Chains A and B, each alone.
Chain A
Amino acid sequence: NAGVMQNPRHLVRRRGQEARLRCSPMKGHSHVYWYRQLPEEGLKFMVYLQKENIIDESGMPKERFSAEFPKEGPSILRIQQVVRGDSAAYFCASDRGDTEAFFGQGTRLTVV
């Protein structure tokens, strides 16, 4: 049973480009959470999704950021027109709704 899979592990983008981060949850998990971690800080909640539904996006910036979890395929976190301040580690977690969340290894986004 593979764990939560995130790709890519490292992503470098120039300012103004788009970043797409992918997350495949653990088998049997229908809940996906995205978190952002700035250097030397804890994680900050961004968005909570179930299949084809955004349940809670209260932690996600209103502009440039979007997330989806389609019926088929991985969850995608999309950042348009990236800026230097978007440089961070982005973690995806999955669970069945009321158990511990299992994390992927994260995508480290660097904006140059």
Chain B
Amino acid sequence: AQKITQTQPGMFVQEKEAVTLDCTYDTSDPSYGLFWYKQPSSGEMIFLIYQGSYDQQNATEGRYSLNFQKARKSANLVISASQLGDSAMYFCAMRERDSNYQLIWGAGTKLIIKP
């Protein structure tokens, strides 16, 4: 069974609009962490934001915020005021305490920002 599901293979968004990238996860481990990474066309993997399973508040980092709905097992990434430089692949990933903290990855969403 898929542990991380990203249902949007691709998205086109107008510059300056907000974007929500979906991520749902599946785990029975009570201790886990959720991550979003950005991979631009140059190929490097850039950490964006982290949410721990016990965190009471949604994580925010600048224009990035994580809409964490624990009961629904979703961890959507919200990018406010999108910019052309946001065009990239975005990956949701999870670490579980019981899986030696390896990162388990979704298939990614390709985001293209239109001018």
Binding site for B on A (CB under 8 A): 31, 33, 35, 41-45, 48, 55-56, 59, 89, 91, 93, 95, 97-98, 100-103, 105-106, 108
Instruction: Using known A-B contacts A42-B91, A42-B108, A43-B91, determine if residue A101 contacts B103 with beta carbons closer than 8 Å.
Output: yes
B101 within 8 A of A: yes
Instruction: Give 7 A-B pairs besides A42-B91, A42-B108, A106-B43 with Cβ atoms closer than 8 angstroms.
Output: A33-B102, A33-B103, A45-B102, A56-B102, A91-B45, A98-B101, A101-B103
CB pair B47–A44 under 8 Å, yes or no, is no
Q: Are A93 and B44 in contact (CB under 8 A)?
A: no
With A and B bound together, what is the CA distance between A92 and B93 in angstroms?
A: 15
Q: 1/0 per position for B4-41, CB-CB distance to A under 8 A?
A: 10000000000000000000000000000101010000
**Contact of B100 with A56 in the complex, beta carbons under 8 Å:** yes
Closest to B107 in A: A42
Chain A: minimal CB distance from B88 (Å): 14
Partner of B100, one of A35, A55, A103: A55
Q: Which 6 A-B pairs have the closest CB atoms?
A: A42-B105, A103-B45, A56-B100, A45-B102, A105-B44, A43-B105
| Chain A CB within 8 A of B104 CB | yes
- Quote the shortest CB–CB distance from B41 to chain A (angstroms): 13
A47 to chain B, nearest CB (A): 9
How far is A81 from B44 in the complex, measured between Cα atoms in Å? 27
Partner of A45, one of B37, B43, B104, B108: B104
Query: Are A48 and B108 in touch, CB under 8 angstroms?
Result: no
What are 15 of the A-B contact pairs (CB < 8 Å)? Answer: A31-B101, A42-B4, A42-B107, A43-B45, A43-B93, A43-B103, A44-B105, A48-B102, A56-B100, A59-B102, A93-B103, A97-B101, A100-B35, A101-B47, A108-B43
CA distance A89 to B46 in the complex (A): 15
Partner of B47, one of A33, A98, A100, A105: A100
**What is the CA–CA distance of A98 and B102 in the complex, to the nearest angstrom?**
10
